Structure 1
């Protein structure tokens, strides 16, 4: 399926990035919509992968100039959003477009692009918490509690999605295959 834009979305720790990487490893020719954020880079990240990193001030200027297709204030008061130019870039590329966004972004995108299909990547809550703890070593219990509260809030909006893929521990390959079937692409 070419020239199509799909949303892949899920709470932190559900495995969206692992599934997207699995799609690429399985030969799916895709183009990621790159989200802009005001959060700090983590180890191993660079500007443009997986986000465009902006200062809070630059992000706010882009909001004031109506440069964002959608944006929201998310975790720890950081901003996340996708520019109008980024949506246009992916729509013109001729590949399967993958847009990783939060549920607030899904809500906005579905209003502005009613034909877009949204895939919820989910996992059991106990596994999500364990993945966050493993990834974000040394964070406080308060941080974990905040992330888990946001995850539960996120799951109240499951109705926004067209598909749900449960990415339980040990089933990543099955989850990748399920997403490939939704995208209607073949393994190369």
Structure 2
């Protein structure tokens, strides 16, 4: 527990900190979604950002858990009121990240995981760069990426060809990210991503409890 002034009490040595928005991006098949799921399972201090969408719920999806399902008119209003960190058209529907809940939770030290592409990442940086940490996951080779996509057994060859062309375009944006990790071994890649998250939490600028703590040390 932490006192209101940010100084830890006798039961904890954890200083209050500001939360962060942790972005994972990769071309399809590079392992982003698998690593995101592992991170959410292993780390109880981070939760998945819940997007708003104009598409209808699929069977088993729960409003507020999987997505915030909103009608087009409501989405239009949120766009006009600048209520999104980022939003985009995806396969005929719109998806966006609402600001309000996330901004309040960041102040309380809650971290959020974003599984978004380079365009969404750019929008997040423009709206709130100080709270954003981005990681781009690369495949070990183009051949390995195609092999992974073919191994899924869900797409026809022409769809895989299209995904590969899109992957090359997405990979070209690697230099816009804070960190780049090559996923040649899933466990090793997950370990590196976890280390990045833990290190970013310890940044001096995020340790909002440090000032009162150090002041008490020097009084």
Alpha-carbon distance in structure 2 between the residues aligned to 1:153 and 1:67? 29
Alpha-carbon distance in structure 2 between the residues aligned to 1:57 and 1:145? 36
Q: Give the structure 2 partner of residue 107 of structure 1.
A: 122
Relative to the length of structure 1, the TM-score reads: 0.76
How far is the alpha carbon of 1:85 from its aligned partner?
Answer: 2.5
160 and 49 in structure 1: CA distance in 2 versus 1, 3 angstrom threshold: farther
- Asked if 1:172 corresponds to 2:172, the answer is no
Q: How many residues align?
A: 181
Q: Give the SS at the match of 1:79.
A: strand
Relative to the length of structure 2, the TM-score reads: 0.67
Alpha-carbon distance in structure 2 between the residues aligned to 1:119 and 1:15? 12
How far is the alpha carbon of 1:23 from its aligned partner?
Answer: 2.0
Q: Give the structure 1 partner of residue 25 of structure 2.
A: 9
How far is the alpha carbon of 1:73 from its aligned partner?
Answer: 2.3
The CA RMSD measured in Å over matched residues stands at: 3.0
Name segments (4+ residues, structure 1) moved above 6 Å. 40-44
Alpha-carbon distance in structure 1 between the residues aligned to 2:171 and 2:188? 22
**For the Cα contact (< 8 Å) 2:51–2:68, is it kept in 1?**
yes
111 and 66 in structure 1: CA distance in 2 versus 1, 3 angstrom threshold: closer
How far is the alpha carbon of 1:66 from its aligned partner?
Answer: 3.4
2 and 65 in structure 1: CA distance in 2 versus 1, 3 angstrom threshold: closer
1:184 pairs, out of 192, 198, 201, with 198
How far is the alpha carbon of 1:47 from its aligned partner?
Answer: 4.5
**For the Cα contact (< 8 Å) 1:165–1:175, is it kept in 2?**
yes
**For the Cα contact (< 8 Å) 1:32–1:90, is it kept in 2?**
no
Alpha-carbon distance in structure 2 between the residues aligned to 1:6 and 1:142? 33
Question: Between Structure 1 and Structure 2, whose CA radius of gyration is higher?
Answer: 2
166 and 44 in structure 1: CA distance in 2 versus 1, 3 angstrom threshold: farther
58 and 99 in structure 1: CA distance in 2 versus 1, 3 angstrom threshold: same
97 and 152 in structure 1: CA distance in 2 versus 1, 3 angstrom threshold: same
1:150 pairs, out of 166, 173, 178, with 166
Alpha-carbon distance in structure 1 between the residues aligned to 2:56 and 2:70? 9
- Which runs of 5 or more structure 1 residues have no equivalent in the other structure? none
**For the Cα contact (< 8 Å) 1:30–1:97, is it kept in 2?**
yes
Alpha-carbon distance in structure 2 between the residues aligned to 1:127 and 1:41? 34
